[in-house]
Chain A
Amino acid sequence: MNHLLKLSDVTIKFGGFEALKNINLEVHEGELVVLLGANGAGKSTLFKTISGLNKMTSGDIQFNGNSISGAAPDRIVKTGIVQCAEGKKLFSEMSVQENLMMGGFVHRRKKAQLKQSLEETYDLFPILKEKKDDAAGSLSGGQQQMLAIGRALMAKPKLIMLDEPSIGLAPLIVEQMFSVIQSINRNGTTVLLAEQNANAALKIANRGYVIENGILVLQGNSKELFNNDEIRKAYIGA
């Protein structure tokens, strides 16, 4: 299988602190891969590094067969990687629809395509269509998270990186969220998902990695990880 994303020995230092150490990670086309790790393990740092927001100290990142190491964040979005950052960062005074349109920024000249993407996003999240003229800041936590994901999808990424989309949401909403993520993947978008909720994440993922203190300590398919004693102890609580 050919890889869509491949990280080779990616290391990043903040001053003297090594936040990521020799990360080797691959995501294949069409996969849903989960990155498990506790708070402060380095998940967001890894996503920001892939998006070009953090400059890595050494290593190489390949996407679609080309190196994107050192590329500017907006170039990386254009090549097809979009991240949905942690903590539902929205433009709170803009309306729901304006937020979505900002997500389609890279396709701003393709009006017809944008309209189509908008319809697709509304099909995926009907509640957003209902609230399309409301200020994004007035939405509930779950709706805001959906809007953040919808906005990322408007860029029509090949790979979407979701950083802890279930954080701070009620259990029922979390369940919905994971089923939506699964359908995004089934619709053809490759997904890299950072999570602490191993139980729910492993149910929808193909494969997973476990990160601790900036080091990938485990990897395997979902079943293997789900049955791994250490993971059960650390992340599932059984």
Chain B
Amino acid sequence: MSAVRRRSAAFPDGGPQGGNDPSAGGGPAGPPFLRVSGLRAGYGPARVLNGIELVVGEGEMVAVLGPNGAGKTTLLRALSGMVRGRGSVRLRGTEILGKAPEEVARLGVTHVPEGRGTFAPLTVEENLRIGAHLRRRSHVAEDMRRVLAYFPLLQAHLRQPAGSLSGGEQQMLAVGRALMAQPRLLLLDEPSRGLAPVTTRRLFDVLRAVNLHDGVTVIVVEQNAQLALEFASRALVMETGRLALAGEAGRLGPGRRVASAYLGPRR
């Protein structure tokens, strides 16, 4: 896998905050970066996703909101191959639905799952090295410095087993490990869970930096709607297995339709 570190040329109309048409991100002629169509998935007989339609342009940062049990986690799992699904998920035109998670990961899709994602008995440094195991050895030291600059709290714990970190530190390590892979598409499931408010903002600053400077496309599930709407270029609201509303975060701030669809009536 080659390093994905282009300063994204994928914002033909002025960056992720602009443009109404997310499919424009794929370049003028080529297929869109990510196109999900008619995605249905579930667990055994229980259907959770009921036909998801979604197009994400390269370099976008998309937030997914929605009540508990709506299927947000299941959506990310279907995208990364952890649950099987029907329909179609194309990454730059390549069908990835039906591929094993490790093969999807090798195409540059890194999923930081809900709640965990670190190797507890391995040290922090080893965790970061695992994240980079598909990359050239010569890049690893520099990537490690960069990730540690994003999460300086980890620096002091490099030789400690990941399992001995605090919950918030583990969450940072999980994101740091994902960044070590230099993903093209980063899927994050409630990365702010268990983080102090200040740390949460710091984490989202990092995500924004990665998104803007490295051109990494980000899909982040986030319960904190205010935060998601502030940082993401678009917010999707999921309700019982469907994407109920998609809009531009900057324009549909809280208090507009997103707010009534997700946050409930205005206080």
Asked if chains A and B come from one complex, the reply is: no
